[in-house]
Structure 1
Amino acid sequence: MGRAPGLSVRLKLTLSYAGFIMLAGVLLLAVVWVFLLRYVPEVIYTAPRDAPEWPGPLIVPNRSDLLRAFVPKAALMLAFLLLFGLAGGWVLAGSMLAPLTRIKNATRLAADGSLSHRIQLEGRGDEFRELADAFDTMLARLEAHDAEQQRFAANASHELRTPLAITQALLDVARTDLERDTGELVERLHFVNSRAIDLTEALLLLSRANQRSFAREPVDLSLAAEEATETLLPLAEKRGVTLETSGDMATADGSHALLLQMTTNLVHNAIVHNLPAQGTVWVTTTTSPDSVTLTVENTGTPLNPRLVTTLTEPFQRATSRLHTDHAGVGLGLAIVKSIAHAHDGTLTLTPRTAGGLRATVRLPAARPHPGT
């Protein structure tokens, strides 16, 4: 937005300093006038020269004499104070505003796309240091978010290109090999197309969660856990995994559809990435005065803590995820993290000592609604 040019802050501070000094000088001269000059009479009466007590030549200045001697010097002093205030104020204002200049330059670099620059303001803590540190923190978060978005865009393009390339290859084979069994071709095309649709829907869900474009209502996470486990029970039975749910009613404010999707993703992830047989998934809910917690644990192989910290990144998969029929599209935990953040909550992933993963979602407890 265009603005009319105005005085710089440094000039404004300089004028303020000089004006304050001039005001102080005027007040000082006024004090001198009030407490000194007013006691000097305008006319001095002296004894006649022929009086016996006449001591000889005597000159006594009156008020007019003092004013003629005082006013020019006071004017020179005020002029000196004005020049001193302007010069000193300009130097002091420049020194005080130097950190703002560094912050301004860093802001322009960030506006031009350079997010790696940091102010790193030296010195003890004050308002400018707090502002610079807050700006550095913001730049670090923006840089991390920008890098994450670039990785996401690259990975999404790769993931979307793969089914399209496979579909193109299958169609080329069908066009050149007319004697090939079309039933097998149609089945493979259907599978690839279904995977592409799942990926697209997951991307849309992730975008919806990031934008927080949903209405909030009280949602009981314990009921969501029961619904998710009931939906995924056939998959668990097929893979030989036992589902166990427990816990108290844990109500949070949010979208029922998104919180159910979050719970379903966690339970699905725990079922798929489990032991080959005789695996177990525990789903529990707890509540406290300020928050509610959903915890999903599963048995499985021991996990590297470094790998666990990357599982919430979009399209991040462990090695075992690449060769299963229910591997998903690599957005399950990323969607869980986005839904949790959209509800002002957190997702914590912790490898279990005996093997497997513990996923904990903590959300703010629902506030009492009027009429409840």
Structure 2
Amino acid sequence: MVNRPPGLSVRLKLKLSYAGFLMLAGTLLLAVVWVFLLRYVPEKIHIQAVPQTERVAPSTGRPFPDAPRSLFVPNRSDLEEAFVPKATLALVFLLVFGLVGGWILAGRMLFPLTRITQATRLAAEGSLSHRIALEGPSDEFRELADAFDGMLEKLEAHVAEQRRFAANASHELRTPLSVTQTLLEVARKDPGKLEGELVERLHEVNLRAIHLTEALLLLSQADQRSFTRERVDLSLIVEEASETLIPLAEKRGITLEVSGDVTPTPGSPLLLRQLVMNLMQNAIVHNLTAGGTVWVTTGRSSSGVMLSVENTGEVLSPEQVSTLVEPFVRGTGRIHSDHAGVGLGLAIARSITQAHDGRLSLTPRAAGGLHITVQLPSHPHERDKPEKGLRP
């Protein structure tokens, strides 16, 4: 934190600004009055004496009983003596009124900032559950408070998710290490017993730990967005992934259908390839035991490009679907399958999608299975091109 010398408070600055503006307006008003008065008041007044005969009533010829013997007309000096003291008192009153009123008005105007500052300090101390909840009509302070509350809400959810992720990752990493430790203790007690089976078990446990570590690194890379964006065609990636996963689909008796249009999007080829592979492999593994189908479609829309992965399978409730993108949440039968994952497939897919400024949505199919849709921004140089027909 940079050390800065103390300065005037915002409230004091506003008070001085209000008072200064009021003084300026009062001074200008008095100056205008003074200028206009001086235009009609000469510096010296010459008064001609009125003859006595001219001070009689024309009808009777007799003098007026109240006819003035002399006439007083103020000159500029008289005006200055009368105007300047009153103007000075008026300016002093405006100064005091501006300072007091400015202090009160500044306090009322800055009161929301006080609540926002308190909430910021609580957040800096680790209390993310506090909300400003500023009342009143919508204005700049209300928008700032609502934006800050929204940031606190997202930050609190992110911190909670990171804590759950750290706890789950620790548990998942501890499991293969514990199994390895147990197998090594068995081998040390009886070196000649079940040597081949022991080596095979150690190999499987070690391979699972490697996959888990690679998945965690990939998830961290996607969250940090530490990649260079290139022009990537999702349809080509889908074709490459389908060629790689056809043996797995045939082994499980799953029909893999791929179709769509050219879908260029800016992003990382490696991460987008991992995204497509995770979604397609998930759709194949979590399917019917035989006779299932996976439909993969790519296309373009006015808002960007789209990847759709749909599969048959067991009937899922919306509550179950909403938890599938959480880290280390596995679908039914996944742990016991021949392609058991580490529970990060859909979590990685969601992180990769968010890192590419996209959106991933999961919807259960009424007939069973899952429909996953990924929406990504289109490449800047491709947005103005007309859409082509679907490619078989």
Report the TM-score range of the alignment, normalised by the length of the smaller protein.
over 0.9
| Residue 96 (structure 2) pairs with residue 95 (structure 1) | no
SS of the aligned residue for 2:153 comes to helix
CA RMSD of aligned residues (A): 1.7
Q: Whole-Å Cα distance in 2 between the matches of residues 349 and 31 of structure 1?
A: 73
- 2:28 aligns to what? 27
Please point out which of 282, 295, 310 is paired with 2:308.
Answer: 295
Q: Whole-Å Cα distance in 2 between the matches of residues 113 and 163 of structure 1?
A: 34
Q: Is the 8 A contact 1:273 1:300 kept in 2?
A: yes
Residue range with higher mean Cα deviation, 54-63 or 287-296? 54-63
- 2:126 aligns to what? 113
1:254-301 C-alpha deviation (Å, 9 max, x unpaired): 111111111010111011111111111111111224411111111100
Residue range with higher mean Cα deviation, 34-43 or 208-217? 34-43
- 2:208 aligns to what? 195
Q: Whole-Å Cα distance in 2 between the matches of residues 18 and 183 of structure 1?
A: 91
- 2:388 aligns to what? none
Please point out which of 272, 276, 289 is paired with 1:259.
Answer: 272
Shift of 1:137: 0.8
- What are the residue-to-residue correspondences of 1:232-243 with 2, within 5 Å? 232-243=245-256
1:113-152 C-alpha deviation (Å, 9 max, x unpaired): 1111111111111111111111111111111111111111
Q: Is the 8 A contact 2:256 2:295 kept in 1?
A: yes
Q: Is the 8 A contact 1:350 1:358 kept in 2?
A: yes
Q: Is the 8 A contact 1:252 1:366 kept in 2?
A: yes
- 2:184 aligns to what? 171
1:289-320 C-alpha deviation (Å, 9 max, x unpaired): 44111111111000011111111111112342
Shift of 1:217: 1.7
Shift of 1:38: 3.4
- 2:59 aligns to what? none
| Residue 79 (structure 2) pairs with residue 81 (structure 1) | no
SS of the aligned residue for 2:296 comes to strand
Structure 1 portions without partners, runs of 5+: none
Q: Is the 8 A contact 1:266 1:336 kept in 2?
A: yes
Q: Is the 8 A contact 2:271 2:352 kept in 1?
A: yes
TM-score (norm 2): 0.91
Q: Whole-Å Cα distance in 2 between the matches of residues 67 and 36 of structure 1?
A: 10
Q: Whole-Å Cα distance in 2 between the matches of residues 49 and 340 of structure 1?
A: 102
Q: Is the 8 A contact 2:176 2:206 kept in 1?
A: yes
Residue range with higher mean Cα deviation, 57-66 or 137-146? 57-66
Amino acid at match of 1:315: F
Residue range with higher mean Cα deviation, 89-98 or 40-49? 40-49
| Residue 285 (structure 2) pairs with residue 272 (structure 1) | yes
Q: Whole-Å Cα distance in 2 between the matches of residues 260 and 224 of structure 1?
A: 6
| Residue 135 (structure 2) pairs with residue 134 (structure 1) | no
1:66-105 C-alpha deviation (Å, 9 max, x unpaired): 2112211111110010000000011111111111111111
Shift of 1:51: 6.1
Shift of 1:59: 3.4
Shift of 1:49: 8.7
C-alpha spacing 1:61/1:323, structure 2 compared with 1 (3 Å): same
- 2:15 aligns to what? 14
Shift of 1:337: 0.7
Amino acid at match of 2:10: V
Q: Is the 8 A contact 1:241 1:271 kept in 2?
A: yes
- What are the residue-to-residue correspondences of 1:306-317 with 2, within 5 Å? 306-317=319-330
Q: Whole-Å Cα distance in 1 between the matches of residues 168 and 210 of structure 2?
A: 16
SS of the aligned residue for 2:106 comes to helix
- In the comparison of the two structures, how many residue pairs are matched? 370
SS of the aligned residue for 1:120 comes to coil
SS of the aligned residue for 2:247 comes to helix
| Percent identity between the two aligned chains | 69
TM-score (norm 1): 0.95
Q: Whole-Å Cα distance in 2 between the matches of residues 317 and 366 of structure 1?
A: 34
| Residue 211 (structure 2) pairs with residue 210 (structure 1) | no
SS of the aligned residue for 2:333 comes to helix
Q: Whole-Å Cα distance in 2 between the matches of residues 303 and 290 of structure 1?
A: 29
Greater C-alpha radius of gyration? 2
Amino acid at match of 1:267: M
Q: Whole-Å Cα distance in 2 between the matches of residues 364 and 61 of structure 1?
A: 82
Shift of 1:324: 2.0
- 2:232 aligns to what? 219
Shift of 1:45: 2.4
Structure 2 portions without partners, runs of 5+: 56-67, 386-392
Q: Whole-Å Cα distance in 2 between the matches of residues 99 and 136 of structure 1?
A: 13
SS of the aligned residue for 1:321 comes to coil
SS of the aligned residue for 1:323 comes to coil
Q: Whole-Å Cα distance in 1 between the matches of residues 193 and 53 of structure 2?
A: 149
Shift of 1:29: 1.0
Shift of 1:5: 1.6
Amino acid at match of 1:229: S
SS of the aligned residue for 1:36 comes to helix
Q: Whole-Å Cα distance in 2 between the matches of residues 246 and 24 of structure 1?
A: 74
